[in-house]
Structure 1
Amino acid sequence: MHSKYSRACSKDSDLEHLTWWARRKGVTLMGTGDFTHPAWFERLRENLVPAEPGLFRLRDEMDRDISRTLPDSVAARKVRFMLSVEISTIYSKGGRSRKIHHLVYMPDFASAEAFNGKLGQIGDLSSDGRPIVGMDSRDLLEATLSSGDGAYLVPAHVWTPWFGVFGSKSGFDTLEECYGDLTDHIFALETGLSSDPAMNWRVSGLDGYRLVSYSDAHSPPIVGRETTVFDTDLDYFGILEALRTGTGHAGTIEFFPEEGKYHVDGHRKCGVRMDPQETEKRGGICPMCGRKLTVGVLSRVEDLADRPAGRRPDGAAGFRNLVPLPEIVGEILRVGPKSKKVRGEVDRLTTAMGPELAILEEVPVEDIAVHSPRLAEAVGRLRRGEVTKEPGYDGEFGVIRVLEPDEPKPANAGDPPMHELKPANVDDPPTLF
């Protein structure tokens, strides 16, 4: 998660909007994001109160105001926060520049304050909600562990080229190269949008790690685009134990990895996209301009893999690939997923059937059909994995389609006539409060 104090993040990324969207999506527990930023840290202290062990909730009066703006189907859902931050470390090691992103979690404000004090001696924490520090990843891990009992670190989006621990541009081939003598304190890895667990299972050296997925939300409406599912008590330390041991770690809900911005190799300026075999054949060079391609996640997994695709390690938690509900509704209405028409339709659907994630995963297709036959057809296809994929590359998101662009719309589908649908200004954030 990120707050409004992070660069390139929505001004609505505050506790009120994040809570509103968590309820609408069906998310129970979120990171606060950005707790190293002084202004955000103070807002967290002012507006969060202790709930279950290591977790926090909004002050009662704020929570009541939010609930009044939501339909009954989602208004009463419990939402909790845990203190989290993403840290960017930039340093030189092994003769190369390293740029690695990490997720850091703290069980209480005293531990977070101790951690902030250590990082504040190295970098300017007020410049960005996701601070950049000139610090070895191993030393960041040490600073995390020494800040409080239960503090832990998870390498973020581990395969992405520029900032992943295994990334092609500045990463390592093993966790030991990155974290050295403290590697045993790493027990979970974040897959990122461009990979899913099945891709990670190809590397036997990762078998002992729990695989998690998170939204990396830069605006509240994309809360829950990727999530991790736990079968534990709602308790910071229960979740920590699940990540350490695997017991209670129930799996993840993922993008189709092809939708991620770095799934395959390519050069965006030239519109060149390649699979790993073609990249290898061309020596990693763009055929249009002669420059180096950005080597994506799929190629990097191939480099380190020692198993064929399709092998699942014993005891590995499962996962499910989904497409966010606004994207599906946008396909049906043939407008952008951020348009006002889509927002209105998703409002109608969640009022009738509950949170977005429940509609995608749990609500019977026949019940969805009562409210939108076209959506019922799309969700059925999604659950069967019947999608069309155009993989992302070099910073360009991929496209996942559940419906074909030229597919005729069935009669009496229950959706508004196409001539009534006009794209809205997709950059306008919703006004909630």
Structure 2
Amino acid sequence: MIPIIGDLHIHSKYSRATACTLDLEHLYIWAQQKGINVVGTGDFTHPEWFSEINEKLEPAEPGLYRLKKDIANWCDEVIPLSCRAPVRFMLSCEISNIYNKKGRTRKNHNLVYFSDVESVRRFNKRLGVIGNLHSDGRPILGLDARDLLEIVLETSENGYLVPAHIWTPWFSMLGSKSGFDSIKECFEDLTVHVFAAETGLSSDPAMNWRVADLDRITLISNSDAHSPSKLGREANLFKTELNYFEMRAAIENGDKSKFAGTFEYYPEKGKYYYDGHRNCSVRFTPKETQSQLGICPVCGKAVTKGVLHRVEELATRPEGAKSDNAIHFDRLIPLDDLLAQIFKVGNQSKKVKHTYRTLLEKLGNEFKILKYLQRDQIESAGVPLLGEAIFKMRENRILFSPGYDGIFGTAKIFSDKERLTVM
């Protein structure tokens, strides 16, 4: 039985650098095409987006919302029959906290969740006194992350906060440029209320297992999508009912029978896996950075220290070690990226888009294709190399040119020799 799949960190069209199609209708459509059952609303602090949430969504199962029927019916017309399934929304947002603490400027992003719109309304009212909620779907607040957590707890006993993409250099709890060295340094006396953290696209659970400070929390993964088609780059698996409270408890308790694991972006494809300087086209492993004393040989400035390096700095265990509460995960590559590799074209090309749609119509949603179908079922769709590409991905037989300093990494699935052999 396929678990409930949840992508709980996304944005709206009101966030900077996001697609104009990032609305509730397109989230609903793309969630079904991806195979996602529960998607975050994102950006509920933004007044116009919160107004849309109230206008277009209605209560469904406990603590979750659904698109109103007349809107959903219109959206269903463009969704392949093989992908149609219920979609629920969880009220969510991301806050950018920028503040001074103990003589340093701190910059970290935090996710906040509530079970009802009235709690969101109270929360937004309090934050509106602190900063401008109109300027961005992800507001920038001069508010200590610890104090933000306190406001969440005071707003509702059912609300919770999750530090976002905890390793990225610039805006995260453990990032090399602006963060802390532990959860407690950040959240102080309220640390006990932080029961989860988001790994981010440039790290996976195995990297996090090396850090003992993270042992007591549950590692969750989300897409941080800035366009609807990027939904599901990472996601969480639940063996619960469609229910906010059960899903929250599964995360809080780290119960493997309820929180069944995550789908992960290959961290090498993330924008901050290696160290480097994008403007100088310099990319370093942590050892190479150390040999250069952290200095870019082109411009003479300090390189941006990536996630792999930062994990090495805080690691208390060797590579390959597991924490006692380790939960299963699978690394996946988005289907359009696989098709782009097969056809040797861009993932936004007409050929990729047409083949993607055809595959959904023949085989079902994207996660079903990437994770759950047998090889003969995949090959029955008639796309050369697709079955081999998916099984190479499932077996982690992929070569990478890792990402660094804001540049996404690239995967190489087939060598020229392999193409000839497989074809």
AA matched with 1:320: D
Aligned mates of 2:417, 2:235 — CA distance in 1: 32
Residue number among 358, 362, 376 corresponding to 1:348 in the alignment? 358
Aligned mates of 2:279, 2:67 — CA distance in 1: 45
Residue number among 300, 305, 324 corresponding to 1:314 in the alignment? 324
Task: Report what 1:193 is aligned to.
Answer: 201
Task: Report what 2:409 is aligned to.
Answer: 398
Whether 1:226 and 2:234 are equivalent positions in the alignment is yes
Whether 1:363 and 2:373 are equivalent positions in the alignment is yes
Task: Report what 1:296 is aligned to.
Answer: 306
Task: Report what 1:260 is aligned to.
Answer: 270
- C-alpha contact (below 8 Å) 1:158/1:191 kept by paired residues: yes
Percent identical across equivalent pairs? 51
Residue 333 of structure 1 and its aligned partner are, at CA, apart by: 1.3
Aligned mates of 1:252, 1:340 — CA distance in 2: 31
Task: Report what 2:49 is aligned to.
Answer: 40
Secondary structure at the aligned position of 2:108 is classed as strand
Secondary structure at the aligned position of 1:270 is classed as coil
Whether 1:19 and 2:5 are equivalent positions in the alignment is no
Task: Report what 2:181 is aligned to.
Answer: 173
Residue 410 of structure 1 and its aligned partner are, at CA, apart by: 6.7
Aligned mates of 2:208, 2:377 — CA distance in 1: 35
Residue 408 of structure 1 and its aligned partner are, at CA, apart by: 3.6
Whether 1:59 and 2:68 are equivalent positions in the alignment is yes
Residue 8 of structure 1 and its aligned partner are, at CA, apart by: 0.5
Deviation track 1:133-162 (CA, whole Å, cap 9, x = no partner) reads 000010000011111121000000000000
Task: Report what 2:5 is aligned to.
Answer: none
AA matched with 2:286: P
Secondary structure at the aligned position of 2:392 is classed as helix
Moved more, 275-284 or 182-191: 275-284
Task: Report what 2:145 is aligned to.
Answer: 137
Whether 1:385 and 2:393 are equivalent positions in the alignment is no
Deviation track 1:244-276 (CA, whole Å, cap 9, x = no partner) reads 111211111011101000001001111111111
Change in Cα spacing, 1:126 to 1:331, as seen in structure 2 (3 Å) is: same
- C-alpha contact (below 8 Å) 2:282/2:296 kept by paired residues: yes
Residue number among 93, 108, 119 corresponding to 2:101 in the alignment? 93
Deviation track 1:14-59 (CA, whole Å, cap 9, x = no partner) reads 0111110000000000100000000000100011000010000000
Aligned mates of 1:29, 1:2 — CA distance in 2: 14
Deviation track 1:202-226 (CA, whole Å, cap 9, x = no partner) reads 0011111100000000000011111
- C-alpha contact (below 8 Å) 1:256/1:400 kept by paired residues: no
Residue number among 245, 250, 269 corresponding to 2:260 in the alignment? 250
Change in Cα spacing, 1:6 to 1:405, as seen in structure 2 (3 Å) is: farther
Task: Report what 1:283 is aligned to.
Answer: 293
- C-alpha contact (below 8 Å) 2:183/2:213 kept by paired residues: no
- C-alpha contact (below 8 Å) 1:57/1:80 kept by paired residues: yes
Pairwise CA RMSD:
1.1
AA matched with 2:138: R
Deviation track 1:382-430 (CA, whole Å, cap 9, x = no partner) reads 111110111100001001122226754579x6xxxxxxxxxxxxxxxxx
TM-score normalized with structure 1 length? 0.93
Task: Report what 1:213 is aligned to.
Answer: 221
AA matched with 1:107: S
Please, which runs of 5 or more residues in structure 2 have no aligned partner?
A: 1-9
Query: How many residue pairs were aligned?
Result: 411
Task: Report what 1:419 is aligned to.
Answer: none
AA matched with 2:197: L
Aligned mates of 2:108, 2:219 — CA distance in 1: 18
- C-alpha contact (below 8 Å) 1:330/1:342 kept by paired residues: yes
Aligned mates of 2:292, 2:99 — CA distance in 1: 31
Aligned mates of 1:279, 1:319 — CA distance in 2: 30
Aligned mates of 1:80, 1:404 — CA distance in 2: 41
Task: Report what 1:429 is aligned to.
Answer: none
Aligned mates of 1:181, 1:366 — CA distance in 2: 55
TM-score normalized with structure 2 length? 0.95
Please, which runs of 5 or more residues in structure 1 have no aligned partner?
A: 414-433
Secondary structure at the aligned position of 1:250 is classed as strand
Residue number among 35, 39, 53 corresponding to 1:30 in the alignment? 39
Residue 243 of structure 1 and its aligned partner are, at CA, apart by: 1.0
AA matched with 1:40: W
Aligned mates of 2:204, 2:243 — CA distance in 1: 26
Aligned mates of 2:157, 2:143 — CA distance in 1: 22
